[in-house]
C-alpha cells in the first residue's frame, strides 16, 4: 500500500512539473512555436540566417545610425559657430553633452520595463518619432536654457535605442553570431560620423545667417533623415520572430528553435522577484556596469571634443578639421569590423578588447609626449585615429551583455544598469576636459590612462568569473550532453545549469 501511494505521489509530481513547464512555454512569447524535436541542418541554418540578414539587420542599422547622428553634430556645430550663436560660455558646451546623458540615465529604468512588457519594435519606433521631433526643436533653439532642456528630453527618448536593439539581437541571433551582428549595427556610429561631417562641411559654406545659421540647416536635415528612418522602423521592424510576414509558419518554428542554445527565451512579461534579487546580487551585473562606465568615461569625452582637439590641439583650421574627421569616422567603421571579426574568429572577446585598449594607451602617450607643430601634427592625427580603438570595443561589450544574462526580469534590471553605466560615463566624460586645461588637455589624458588600467582589470576579472562558472557546470555534467531543455522556461543564467557563458 505504501509503495502504491508513493507511486501515485510521484506521478502527480511529474504531472505538476509538466503543467508548470507548459505554463512557462505559453507565457514565453515563443508559445506553441517551441519544438525541441526539430533538427536544423547547417544548410537550413544558413538559409534562415540569410533571411534575417536581408529583412531585419538593415532596419536595425537604420535605427542605430539615427541615434548616432546626433552624437557627431554637437562637435561639428561647435566649430561652426554654435557656441557664439547660443551664448555658450565656460562649461556650457560640455554640459550640453552631459544633459543628454542625464536624460538617458532617467529614462533607462523606465524604458527597460517597457521593453519587457510591451512590443519591443514599437517602443523603439515611437521613441524615434519623438526623438526626431526634438531634433527639429533643437535646430531653432538659440539660447542655452532650451538647449539644455531639449538635450535632456532627447536623452530620455534615446534611452530606448540600445536596450531595444540588444533585446532584438538576443531574440534573433545565436550567441556565436551576436558579436558580429552587434558589430554591424554598432558600426553605424562611424557611418553617422561620416554623414554628419559631410553635412557640416557642405553647410559650413553658407555665409552668416541666410536666413538660418549653417549649423541650423545641418540639424534640420538630420531631423528630416530621422523622421524618414522612424517611419521605416515602425513599418518594417517585427516585435518577435513570431510576427514576421516574410516567414512561413514552419520557418517561425525554426527561427525560435535556432536560438534554443542561447538559453534566453524570446520574451516573458511576468515579473519575478527571485530574478530581481539575483540581478542586484550577482557580481557579474556590477562588472558589466563598471566595464561600460570606465569605457564611456574615456570615449564620452573624446567623442565630444574630437573636432575641437583636431582644430585647436593639433592646429588644423576649421574646414580641414571637418574634412579629416570624415576618414576618422570611416576608420572607426573599419575598427568595428576588425574587432567583430577577431572576436568571432578567435572566440576570445575579452582578450581582443584588452588588445584594443592597449592601442589607446600607446596613442595617449604619444599625445602627451609629442608637441604639435608643422612637422608633428600629421603624426599626432595618426595617433588620434588609432585611439578610436577604445571606441570600437563597444560591440564586444554589448555582446558580453546580450550573450551572458538570462531571465526576462533579471535582464530588464541588468540591461538598465548597463545602460545607466553607459550614460553615466558619457555624462561625466566631457567634464574630464576642463576648459582651463585646453588646448592639449594633459590632465584629461592622464586620467584616461588610469581609466584604461581600471578597464583592463575589470574585464579580466569578468573573464575569470565566467570561466569559473562554466568549468563548475561542465564538471557537474560529467561528460553528458547539454540539451538546453530549459531554454524557454524563463530561468536566469545562474538558475539554469545548462546555460554557458561566452567571453
Which cell goes with 378? Answer: 600629421
| Complete domains list, the chain, with CATH | 53-239+274-477 (1.20.1250.20)
Check: CB of residue 415 under 8 Å from CB of residue 423: no
Residue 14, CA distances (Å) to 1, 8, 210 in order: 20, 10, 77
Q: Quick one: pLDDT at residue 296?
A: 94
Please tell me the distance from the alpha carbon of residue 39 to that of residue 20, in angstroms, as a whole number: 25
Buried b (16+ CB within 10 A) or exposed e, 22-43: eebbebbbbeebbeeeeeeeee
Is residue 158 within a helix (H) or strand (E), and if so which, with residue range? helix 144-158
pLDDT averaged per 10 residues in sequence order, the chain, 503 residues: 43 46 50 78 91 93 85 70 83 81 91 89 93 90 90 91 91 89 89 81 76 86 92 91 87 88 77 93 97 94 74 69 76 90 90 96 92 81 88 92 91 93 88 83 93 97 96 84 76 89 92
Handedness of CA 430, 434, 440, 443 (dihedral sign): negative
Please tell me the distance from the alpha carbon of residue 74 to that of residue 101, in angstroms, as a whole number: 13
Half-sphere CA count of 383, side-chain side, radius 13 A = 21
Answer whether 0.75 is exceeded by the pTM: yes
Cell 578597464 belongs to residue: 455
Hey, what's the torsion of the CAs at 208, 211, 213, 216, to 10 degrees?
A: -170
Q: Of 47, 494, 451, 471, nearest to 247 (Cα)?
A: 47
Check: CB of residue 405 under 8 Å from CB of residue 169: no
Cell 554637437 belongs to residue: 74
Angle between helices 408-428 and 283-308 (to 10 degrees): 30
Check: CB of residue 272 under 8 Å from CB of residue 495: no
Q: Quick one: pLDDT at residue 175?
A: 85
Burial class, 327, CB count within 10 angstroms (exposed 0-12 / middle 13-18 / buried 19+): middle
Amino acid at each position: 500500500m505504501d509503495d502504491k501511494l508513493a507511486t501515485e505521489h510521484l506521478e502527480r509530481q511529474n504531472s505538476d512539473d509538466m503543467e508548470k513547464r507548459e505554463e512557462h512555454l505559453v507565457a514565453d512569447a515563443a508559445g506553441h512555436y517551441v519544438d525541441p524535436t526539430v533538427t536544423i541542418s547547417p544548410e537550413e541554418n544558413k538559409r534562415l540566417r540569410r533571411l534575417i540578414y536581408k529583412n531585419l539587420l538593415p532596419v536595425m542599422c537604420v535605427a542605430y545610425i539615427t541615434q548616432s547622428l546626433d552624437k557627431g553634430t554637437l562637435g561639428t556645430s561647435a566649430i561652426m559657430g554654435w557656441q557664439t550663436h547660443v551664448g555658450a560660455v565656460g562649461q556650457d558646451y560640455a554640459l550640453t553633452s552631459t544633459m543628454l546623458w542625464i536624460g538617458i540615465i532617467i529614462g533607462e529604468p523606465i524604458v527597460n520595463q517597457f521593453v519587457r512588457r510591451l512590443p519591443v519594435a514599437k517602443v523603439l519606433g515611437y521613441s524615434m518619432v519623438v526623438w526626431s521631433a526634438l531634433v527639429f526643436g533643437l535646430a531653432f533653439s538659440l539660447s542655452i536654457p532650451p538647449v539644455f532642456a531639449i538635450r535632456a528630453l532627447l536623452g530620455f527618448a534615446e534611452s530606448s535605442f540600445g536596450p531595444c536593439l540588444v533585446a532584438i539581437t538576443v531574440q534573433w541571433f545565436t550567441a556565436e553570431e551576436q558579436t558580429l551582428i552587434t558589430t554591424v549595427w554598432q558600426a553605424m556610429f562611424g557611418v553617422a560620423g561620416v554623414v554628419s561631417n559631410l553635412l557640416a562641411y557642405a553647410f559650413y559654406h553658407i555665409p552668416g545667417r541666410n536666413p538660418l545659421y549653417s549649423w541650423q540647416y545641418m540639424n534640420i536635415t538630420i531631423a528630416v533623415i530621422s523622421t524618414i528612418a522612424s517611419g521605416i522602423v515602425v513599418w518594417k521592424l517585427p516585435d518577435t520572430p513570431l510576427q514576421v510576414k516574410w516567414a512561413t509558419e514552419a520557418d517561425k518554428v525554426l527561427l525560435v528553435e535556432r536560438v534554443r542554445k542561447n538559453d534566453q527565451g524570446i520574451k516573458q512579461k511576468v515579473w519575478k522577484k527571485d530574478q530581481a534579487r539575483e540581478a542586484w546580487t550577482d557580481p557579474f551585473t556590477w562588472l558589466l556596469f563598471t566595464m561600460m562606465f570606465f569605457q564611456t568615461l574615456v570615449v564620452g569625452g573624446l567623442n565630444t571634443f574630437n573636432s575641437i582637439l583636431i582644430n585647436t590641439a593639433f592646429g588644423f583650421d576649421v574646414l580641414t578639421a571637418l574634412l579629416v574627421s570624415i576618414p576618422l569616422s570611416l576608420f572607426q567603421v573599419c575598427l568595428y569590423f576588425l574587432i567583430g571579426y577577431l572576436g568571432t574568429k578567435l572566440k576570445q572577446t575579452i582578450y581582443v578588447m584588452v588588445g584594443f585598449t592597449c592601442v589607446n594607451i600607446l596613442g595617449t602617450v604619444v599625445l602627451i609626449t609629442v608637441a604639435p607643430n608643422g612637422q608633428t601634427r600629421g603624426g599626432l592625427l595618426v595617433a588620434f585615429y588609432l585611439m578610436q580603438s577604445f571606441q570600437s570595443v563597444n560591440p564586444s561589450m554589448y555582446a558580453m551583455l546580450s550573450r551572458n544574462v538570462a531571465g526576462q526580469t533579471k535582464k530588464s534590471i541588468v540591461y538598465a544598469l548597463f545602460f545607466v553605466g553607459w550614460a553615466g560615463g558619457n555624462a561625466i566624460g566631457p567634464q574630464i576636459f576642463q576648459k582651463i586645461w585646453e588646448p592639449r588637455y594633459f590632465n584629461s589624458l592622464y586620467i584616461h590612462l588610469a581609466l584604461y588600467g581600471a578597464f583592463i582589470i575589470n574585464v579580466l576579472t569578468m573573464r575569470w568569473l565566467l570561466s569559473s562558472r562554466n568549468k563548475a557546470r561542465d564538471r557537474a555534467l560529467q561528460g553528458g550532453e547539454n540539451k538546453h531543455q530549459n531554454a524557454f522556461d524563463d530561468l536566469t543564467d545562474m538558475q539554469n545549469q545548462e546555460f554557458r557563458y561566452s567571453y
